[in-house]
C-alpha cells in the first residue's frame, strides 16, 4: 500500500483549513504579536472562579470527564429555564456543528448559509458532502428572509444564521428572527448561532421555545466567558434532536477541567457583567480609533468591531497584512462587499493603544501598495 | 417539521453508548464509588509538573489552543525519533479513531477487529456505515495472524489491533507484530493501538518505521501519563496519512491547558518511572488478592488486570454488579470466553484494600444468585 483507501468524498476534499491560527502566524513571522485581536477571543479572560475551578480539577485530570456533562447541563438548563434534555454540551460550537452536520447532511444534500458567514460551518458541510447555497448579506446583516427563501428553493436540510453576526458584528432583535421563522420551510432545520449573544443588547437572544423542533441554538463559553481554549459549547433544542447527538458524538470527549471551569463561569454573574462593561468600552474605543483615521466602525453587538476601510477587499487585506507586520493580529470578512472591512476584537487598553499606534502606518503602507 | 431529516445512516444507528461512565453509575446508585477501578484511569495521577502547567495555562484559557499543537508535536517527534510530520495530536485516541474511520470508511466498507476489543472503535465504524468483521482472541490474546487473514478475506480497509490488549492486559512483543505484518494485506491499513504500551515490558512497542504506509500507531496521555480527562492522544504515521486528518479534524479542537499539560508530562521522565513502579506493585497486589480467593489473574502489561472468575460471563457480570453494589467500580470484557473475567484497574493501596475487602462478599453473593 502506498496510500490508504480514503473514501471518494475524502479524496475530493481540499486540504484547506478554515482559519490560520495566530500561533501559526507567529511562527511564520518569527516573532509574537503585540496585540492578539484577530480571533474574537475575550482578552479580558475567564472568571477567576473558573480559573480556580480548572486548577482544582487539574489534579483530578486522571479521571475521564463525565460523559453526560450532567452538572453543567443541569446548571445550563436552570440558567435558561429549560430542561437538561434540551441541552447538549460539546467540544465548542465547532464540535457541535460537526456532529449536527453529520447527523443531517449526506452527499448532495442542500444547506443554506450567508456568503461570508462562518467558514468552519462551511468546512463541516463540505466535509460531509453537502452542497452549500449562499445568499448575500443585506446592508451588512445576515438576512433571515433571504436565507429562508433560499432554503425553500433548494429544499435545504439546514440553514445557518448567526445572530449577532460574525464577522460583521451586526444583529437583529430576537423577535425579528422569530417573526421571520414563519417563512422557514417545514423541512429545514434552523441553526441559530448565538455565540456572541451575551455581548448584545437585551432582546437579541431569540425568544424560542426550547422544544421548538424547527431550530437548534448554539451557545459557547469561548466568547463572553473567556474560555475559548477550554472547548465548551452547548446546543439548545428539542429533546429528540439533542438525543440524536448521542448516536455520533465522542461520549468521553469533554475535558474534565473545562467542564468544571464552565460550571464556575456560569455561576459568576459579576464577572460576566464586568466583562460586558469592558467589551462596551473597548467597542467605543475601537470606533474612536477608526474615526481618528477617517474610517467608519460598524455598530457591534459582539466582542469585536468591523471597521469599514472605505475601499475594496484588496485594500482591507493589505491593511490586515500591514497591521500584522506591525505586530497587530486582526482578521477580516471573507466575502465582498463585507471584505472592505477589517475585524478587530475588543482588547484591553494596552492592546488598543498598540492597534491605534500601528493603524496609521498600516493604512499608509496599504495605500502605497 | 416534527423531526429533522437525519441521514439514512443516522436513522439506522442505535442509540447505544460505548460505555456507561462512572459518574452516570454513581448518579444511578445515589452514592459515589469507594474505589474507581473500572475505566483504566491512572489513579496515581498526572505529573505534578503537568498539573502546574495546566494551572498556569488556565488563566490563558481565553486563547484558542494552537491549531497545529506545534510544540507538543515537536516534542513528541523528538521523543520518538521521528519528524513532526509523522505526528497528529488529537482529542484522545477516541477522537483520532473517529477521524481515521471517517477518512477511510464509507457505507458497506469492511473493517476487521477482534471479538471483544475496543467498543469505541466499533462505535465509530458503525457510525460511518462500515461493516465490522470480528475474529476471536487466541488464548486470551489478540491474534495478528487471524486478524490479517480475515482482512484479506473481506478486503478490509482497516484492521484494529491493540497491543498490549484491552480488556485482557495481554501482549505480544513488538517484533512479533512486525513479523506478522508480512501477511497484512496490501490494501489494508493497520491501526496499532498502543495506548498502554508505556506500562509494558521493554520491546512491546512495535519497531515500526514512522513512514511505513501500512500502519498508524495510536498513543495517549490518558493512561500512564494520568491525563484521561485532558483528552490528548496522538497518532504516528506516514506524513500523507497524518496530513489527511487536516481534511476532517476540528482544527481548533484541542484544549489549550491540556496541550501544555501533555508537554510538561512528556518531559517528566521521573514521574513516568514512579508511576510505572506503582502500576507494577498494584498489578502484583491485584493478582495476590485474586489468588487469596482462589481466582487466577492473567499476566498484564497494562495498568489493569483481568481476573478469571472461573465460571461464565453471567457469573462475572454478577461479580461486577456485586462489587459495584459494594462501592467498587470495575468493568469486564464484553465477549466470550474473555467475559469469564473481571477487569480491575491498578489502584492505590487504599483502593485495592477496598477491593480486597469487597471481593469475598461479592463472590459469595454472585454465586448465590
> In this structure, are A117 and A234 located in the same domain?
yes
Q: Residue A19: which pLDDT band, with cuts at 50, 70 and 90? A: confident
Q: Which residue of A has its CA nearest to B47?
A: A59
Whether A1 has a pLDDT exceeding 90, the answer reads: no
> In this structure, are A54 and A37 located in the same domain?
no
pLDDT at B311: 97
Partner-chain residue, chosen from B41, B104, B213, that has the shortest CB–CB distance to A63: B41
Q: B121 and B267 in contact (C-beta within 8 Å)?
A: no
**Is residue B164 reached through a cis peptide bond, with omega within 30 degrees of 0 on the bond before it?**
yes
Q: Residue A17: which pLDDT band, with cuts at 50, 70 and 90? A: confident
Q: B244 and B103 in contact (C-beta within 8 Å)?
A: yes
pLDDT at A2: 74
Tell me how close the Cα of A23 comes to any Cα of chain B, in angstroms: 6
Question: 3-class SS at A33?
Answer: coil
> In this structure, are B33 and B56 located in the same domain?
no
> In this structure, are B32 and B93 located in the same domain?
no
pLDDT at B308: 98
Closest CA to B154 of B131, B179, B170: B131
Interface contact A261-B1, CB threshold 8 A: no
Whether B53 has a pLDDT exceeding 80, the answer reads: yes
Interface contact A250-B21, CB threshold 8 A: no
Interface contact B4-A213, CB threshold 8 A: yes
Task: Pick the last residue of a domain from A268, A300, A320.
Answer: A268
A247 in B contact zone (CB under 8 Å)? yes
Q: Rounded CA gap, A284 and A38, in Å?
A: 17
Contacts of A18 in chain B (CB under 8 A): 251
Q: Residue A235: which pLDDT band, with cuts at 50, 70 and 90? A: very high
pLDDT at A15: 78
> In this structure, are B84 and B162 located in the same domain?
yes
> In this structure, are A101 and A54 located in the same domain?
yes
Q: Is residue A3 part of a domain?
A: no
Tell me how close the Cα of A309 comes to any Cα of chain B, in angstroms: 27
- Which helix (H) or strand (E) segment holds residue A15: the answer is none
Return the number of other C-beta atoms located less than 10 Å from residue B51's C-beta.
22
> In this structure, are B162 and B289 located in the same domain?
no
Domain that holds residue A313: 8-45+270-367
Partner-chain residue, chosen from A8, A64, A104, that has the shortest CB–CB distance to B21: A64
What integer is the mean pLDDT of A88-95? Answer: 98
Q: Considering only residues 52 to 81 of chain A, which have any Cβ-Cβ distance to chain B shorter than 8 Å?
A: 54-55, 57-68, 70
Tell me how close the Cα of B337 comes to any Cα of chain A, in angstroms: 27
pLDDT at A68: 97
B274 in A contact zone (CB under 8 Å)? no
Interface contact A4-B103, CB threshold 8 A: yes
Query: What is the DSSP code string of A213-268?
Result: TTEEEEEESSSTT--GGG--EEEE--HHHHHHGGGTS-TT-S-HHHHHHHHHHHH-
CATH number for position A187: 3.40.640.10
Q: Which residue of B has its CA nearest to A93?
A: B253
Q: Residue B1: which pLDDT band, with cuts at 50, 70 and 90? A: low
What integer is the mean pLDDT of A53-68? Answer: 97
Contacts of A61 in chain B (CB under 8 A): 45-46, 50-51, 54, 226-230, 261
> In this structure, are B161 and B226 located in the same domain?
yes
Interface contact A250-B103, CB threshold 8 A: no
Interface contact A41-B62, CB threshold 8 A: yes
What integer is the mean pLDDT of A5-11? Answer: 96
> In this structure, are B224 and B86 located in the same domain?
yes
> In this structure, are A27 and A151 located in the same domain?
no
Mean pLDDT over all residues of chain B?
97
| Cα B12 from chain centre | 27
Q: Residue A170: which pLDDT band, with cuts at 50, 70 and 90? A: very high
Amino acid at each position: 500500500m502506498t496510500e490508504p483507501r480514503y473514501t471518494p468524498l475524502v479524496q475530493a476534499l481540499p486540504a484547506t483549513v478554515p482559519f490560520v491560527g495566530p500561533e501559526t502566524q507567529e511562527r511564520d513571522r518569527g516573532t509574537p504579536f503585540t496585540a492578539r485581536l484577530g480571533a474574537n477571543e475575550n482578552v479580558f479572560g475567564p472568571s477567576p472562579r473558573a480559573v480556580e475551578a480548572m486548577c482544582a480539577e487539574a489534579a483530578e485530570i486522571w479521571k475521564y470527564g463525565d460523559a453526560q456533562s450532567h452538572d453543567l447541563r443541569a446548571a445550563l438548563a436552570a440558567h435558561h429555564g429549560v430542561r437538561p434534555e434540551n441541552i447538549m454540551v460539546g467540544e465548542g460550537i465547532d464540535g457541535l456543528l460537526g456532529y449536527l452536520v453529520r447527523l443531517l447532511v449526506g452527499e448532495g444534500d442542500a444547506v443554506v448559509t450567508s456568503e461570508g458567514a462562518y467558514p468552519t460551518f462551511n468546512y463541516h458541510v463540505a466535509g460531509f458532502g453537502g452542497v452549500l447555497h449562499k445568499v448575500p448579506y443585506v446592508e451588512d446583516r445576515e438576512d433571515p428572509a433571504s436565507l429562508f427563501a433560499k432554503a425553500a428553493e433548494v429544499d435545504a436540510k439546514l440553514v445557518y444564521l448567526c445572530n449577532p453576526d460574525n464577522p460583521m458584528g451586526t444583529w437583529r432583535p430576537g423577535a425579528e428572527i422569530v417573526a421571520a421563522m414563519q417563512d422557514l420551510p417545514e423541512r429545514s432545520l434552523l441553526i441559530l448561532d448565538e455565540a456572541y449573544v451575551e455581548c448584545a443588547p437585551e432582546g437579541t437572544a431569540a425568544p424560542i421555545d426550547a422544544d421548538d423542533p424547527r431550530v437548534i441554538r448554539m451557545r459557547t463559553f469561548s466568547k463572553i466567558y473567556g474560555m475559548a481554549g477550554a472547548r465548551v459549547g452547548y446546543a439548545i433544542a428539542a429533546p429528540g434532536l439533542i438525543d440524536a447527538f448521542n448516536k455520533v458524538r465522542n461520549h468521553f470527549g469533554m475535558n474534565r477541567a473545562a467542564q468544571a471551569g464552565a460550571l464556575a463561569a456560569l455561576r459568576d454573574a459579576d464577572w460576566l457583567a464586568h466583562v460586558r462593561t469592558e467589551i462596551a468600552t473597548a467597542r467605543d474605543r475601537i470606533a474612536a480609533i477608526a474615526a481618528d483615521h477617517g474610517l467608519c466602525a460598524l455598530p457591534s453587538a459582539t466582542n469585536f468591531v468591523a471597521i469599514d476601510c472605505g475601499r475594496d477587499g484588496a485594500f482591507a487585506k493589505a491593511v490586515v497584512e500591514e497591521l500584522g507586520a506591525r505586530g497587530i493580529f486582526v482578521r477580516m470578512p471573507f466575502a465582498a462587499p463585507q471584505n472592505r472591512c477589517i475585524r478587530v476584537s475588543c482588547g484591553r487598553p494596552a492592546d488598543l493603544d498598540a492597534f491605534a499606534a500601528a493603524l496609521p502606518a498600516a493604512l499608509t503602507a496599504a495605500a502605497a501598495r
